[in-house]
Chains A and B, each alone.
Chain A
Amino acid sequence: MLYRENGQFKTSYRADQQIFPILQDRLAILALAAITLVGVPLFASDYLFRAILIPFAILALAALGLNILVGYCGQISLGTGAFMAVGAYAAYNFVVRVPGMPLLAALLLGGLCATAIGVAFGIPSLRIRGLYLAVATLAAQFFVEWAFLRIKWLTNDSTSGSVTVGALSVFGIPLDTPASRYLLCMALLVLFALLAKNLVRGHIGREWMAIRDMDVAAAVIGIRPVYAKLTAFAISSFIVGVAGALWAFVHLGSWEPAAFGIERSFQLLFMIIIGGLGSIMGSFLGAAFITIVPIVLNRTLPLFGNAFGVHVDTALVSHFESMLFGALIVFFLIVEPHGLARLWSTAKEKLRLWPFPH
């Protein structure tokens, strides 16, 4: 009843092609923007920022990048951690070696370096696909991890790649409170989400999806697989690289290569599988889910265990996490391969009829 589109006729193709064609959606997004950009910074606690909101924002950005490559273009990648690392260490190098380098510029330059590496490791995708490509991206993951561990020049001669960054500021405003850091991350997230959505609904997005669905037919229409795949790798790596730099600078402060290990790659892949492959919204939902679940488990499992007289320590909680995520991956792949995003749009479909049965 609230969600009906009655009376909302589109009189131009341009109106039909908008990101949020339904008025109620537009209002909802405005409300969400108000809450996340104004309400939250005013009322949330430091803990909430550090433990949930900032990690969510940055990982959602990384998941967005990965979803472009895996969800829209169908190229599987297990090397996301490596590209985040490239973004992080490249940004670090720019900040440390170039005096007066602004933070935003360093982040973007980090992203560009990740783009270069991403395209290089994307070249195998022109000849191989599926599980073979997965193994090739593992080569990227382990090689890059090793490079930052052992090649001193890449980490400004630090021991085994451990580096630290100092105080951050943007356009002269110091980012010393969690709220300010959160706002930076959210601003970048919203910006990149908008740009990504535009790309995905433009003709490059259709090229990516065509390559994903049937690349031989795509070639016959005139789509160049090389261009489509490499642009997917490039844009995906850029976003992932910026996210990596953000993760290192804003969330961690000091880090080493292990922060971007294979577990990170798997984590991001899980986010987009659970959230929904080929969906911008899915990246957000998956990131939220995977950020929140461990915290919930940490709080509730010990209580649960105490009720049964079983002592639950942090190691056990993390095992439960593995089991839960593993089971959820399988569950989603069987029941709803398009993840939470599809569940969400199905719910909206039902909402359009509510409260009428049909």
Chain B
Amino acid sequence: MGFFLETLIGGLMTGMLYSLVALGFVLIFKASGVFNFAQGSMVLFAALAMARFADWLPRWLGFDNRLLANLLAFVAAMAVMVVAAWLIERLVLAKLVNQEGITLLMATLGISYFFDGFGQTVFGNDIYKLDIGLPKDPVFLFEQAFQGGILVNKEDLYAALIAALLVAALSLFFQKTGTGRALRAVADDHQAAQSIGIPLGRIWVIVWTVAGCVALVAGIIWGSKLGVQFSLSLVALKALPVVILGGLTSVPGAILGGLVIGVGEKLSEVYIGPHLGGGIEIWFAYVVALAFLLVRPQGLFGEKIIDRV
């Protein structure tokens, strides 16, 4: 039983990372109807920026404080993501305004390739350490109930906390601020929002920036855990089935979907995997998404789409 719970919790932790990436997807889709294939590449790009700036800034500016380095690097990486968002909106989205979804999807695929190449050109392609001071030692919970207790990583717990704070902050942003309201209006109906004076272009820059910052947080957490490397962007591809499961337009769906996929992957790998030869993690999420697409395409919380002739 203890082992089951450990696996479960491990799955929840991975799932939470998926949720963070999926959150970026959902934000962009809600506000602009664009399915951002490049979200994973943005996570990698942001993480690379953070890791390298944390390395370079102390050298360039001549100081030694770890905390200061991390803070400055965070600000620098955020700035980079803002510029990236602005460039994407100006150079790509503004030009493809009236195209169909499939064109925009392929454009984000192109953006993803570009980011992968560009990030690795500028920041390098080794595996980089990202140390933001999270304690990495394990802790044993519930030692009374289960023999030996359940092994949980402290780093994961902190990561979960950060993620929860991020979701709370985003929810407040959407509900309480003027910009957040404008974003929700745009997500609801572009033309109506435009007709009451909401500047579409600027809104999209804001959305992509927010998504970029979410990508940065996801990248930091993930990079801290696994090291910043190219495979990050491929693993992030798995956030696609997560948003299918949760519903493309639902923030709680992205969170829940990520957790379900994370847990499902781990449990199925441990309990079903050995019967099938192992390694089923690479397709489990996608097959679940496929099943949902056939039975309930709008996911758990998404909205139904009706085609009118």
Residues of B that sit less than 8 Å from A by CB: 35, 91-92, 95-96, 99-103, 105-107, 109-118, 120-121, 125, 234, 237, 240-241, 244, 276-280, 282-283, 286-287, 289-290, 293-294, 297, 307, 309
Number of CB contacts from chain A to chain B under 8 A: 132
A146 contacts B by Cβ under 8 Å? yes
B110/A333 in contact, CB under 8 A: yes
A184 contacts B by Cβ under 8 Å? no
Q: Which 5 A-B pairs have the closest CB atoms?
A: A329-B110, A326-B114, A322-B117, A326-B113, A323-B117
A143 contacts B by Cβ under 8 Å? yes
From A216, A319, A333, give the contact of B117 (CB < 8 A): A319
What string of 1s and 0s marks CB contacts (under 8 Å) between A221-232 and chain B?
Answer: 000000000000
Contact residues in B for A138 (Cβ distance below 8 Å): 237, 240-241, 286
A145 contacts B by Cβ under 8 Å? yes
From B107, B244, B278, give the contact of A135 (CB < 8 A): B244
Closest CB of chain A to B73's CB: distance in Å?
22
Contact residues in A for B234 (Cβ distance below 8 Å): 262
Complex: how many Å from CA A124 to CA B293? 8
- Of chain B, the residue at the smallest CB distance from A322 is B117
A94 contacts B by Cβ under 8 Å? no
Complex: how many Å from CA A145 to CA B287? 13
A128/B109 in contact, CB under 8 A: no
From B96, B287, B293, give the contact of A143 (CB < 8 A): B287
B113/A216 in contact, CB under 8 A: no
Contact residues in B for A325 (Cβ distance below 8 Å): 110, 113
Contact residues in A for B280 (Cβ distance below 8 Å): 146
The dominant DSSP class at the B interface is: helix
Q: Take A127-B297, A139-B289, A326-B113 as given contacts and tell me if A333 and B121 are in contact as well, using a CB distance cutoff of 8 Å.
A: no
From B109, B115, B237, B287, give the contact of A329 (CB < 8 A): B109
A151/B294 in contact, CB under 8 A: no
B290/A139 in contact, CB under 8 A: yes
A136/B121 in contact, CB under 8 A: no
Closest CB of chain A to B52's CB: distance in Å?
15
A326/B115 in contact, CB under 8 A: yes
Q: Among residues 53 to 89 in chain A, which have CB atoms less than 8 Å away from a CB atom of chain B?
A: 74, 76
Complex: how many Å from CA A145 to CA B113? 22
Q: Take A139-B290, A142-B286 as given contacts and tell me if A334 and B96 are in contact as well, using a CB distance cutoff of 8 Å.
A: yes
B109/A135 in contact, CB under 8 A: no
A330/B290 in contact, CB under 8 A: no
Q: Among residues 299 to 330 in chain A, which have CB atoms less than 8 Å away from a CB atom of chain B?
A: 315-316, 318-330
Closest CB of chain B to A330's CB: distance in Å?
4
11 contacts between A and B (CB under 8 A): A135-B290, A138-B240, A142-B283, A262-B237, A266-B109, A316-B121, A325-B113, A326-B112, A326-B117, A329-B107, A330-B114
A269 contacts B by Cβ under 8 Å? yes
Contact residues in A for B278 (Cβ distance below 8 Å): 150
Complex: how many Å from CA A169 to CA B102? 43
Closest CB of chain A to B107's CB: distance in Å?
5
